[in-house]
Amino acid sequence: MMAKIDFTPLFRSSIGFDRVFDLLDSAARVQPIENWPPYDIEKTGEDCYRITIAVAGFSADELEMTKEANLLIIKAEKAEKEQSGNVLHRGIAARPFQRRFQLADYVDVVGADLKDGLLTIDLVREVPEAMKPKRIPVQTGSVVSGAAQPEQIEQKQAA
């Protein structure tokens, strides 16, 4: 049995990482591993990613993909159809599935393609300009511009 990790010491020196700690905490919990359908995750560039899921037997109409805040959900359910004969062996899985992927902030889905039984989903992390690091110049010997300057209320001459 795994011991619960206490992130309290990290809260003293980090700000705004609550979501990361929640993710680590949920990953530490023992959950049954769902390994169907098989999938790959690859990094295709600096801020580009690709998820490839094997969805053999499913058509594009039977697949549903939704993106919530930081969660990508892929669902599939086979449409009911009448059997034209007696099936002696069913080896091709056609069971419904739901696969969830936690996404980092500013990761967005830019495209999805179904070809040869593989669903390929392209993702890109696009950090807004306002959130990118900015260099702040350090000035010496002068008052920082934009800072409130004290006003001189009255001028009196020394006696």
The residues of the chain scoring below 50 in pLDDT are: 1
Question: Rounded CA gap, 119 and 73, in Å?
Answer: 13
The structure's pTM equals: 0.64
pLDDT cut 70: percent of the chain above it: 70
Residue 38, Cβ density class (10 Å: 0-12 exposed, 13-18 middle, ≥19 buried) = exposed
pLDDT cut 90: percent of the chain above it: 31
Tokens 């990953």 correspond to 27
pLDDT for 148:
57
Q: What is the DSSP letter of 17?
A: -
pLDDT for 1:
47
pLDDT for 120:
97
Domains of the chain, CATH where assigned: 1-31 (no CATH), 36-79+91-130 (2.60.40.790)
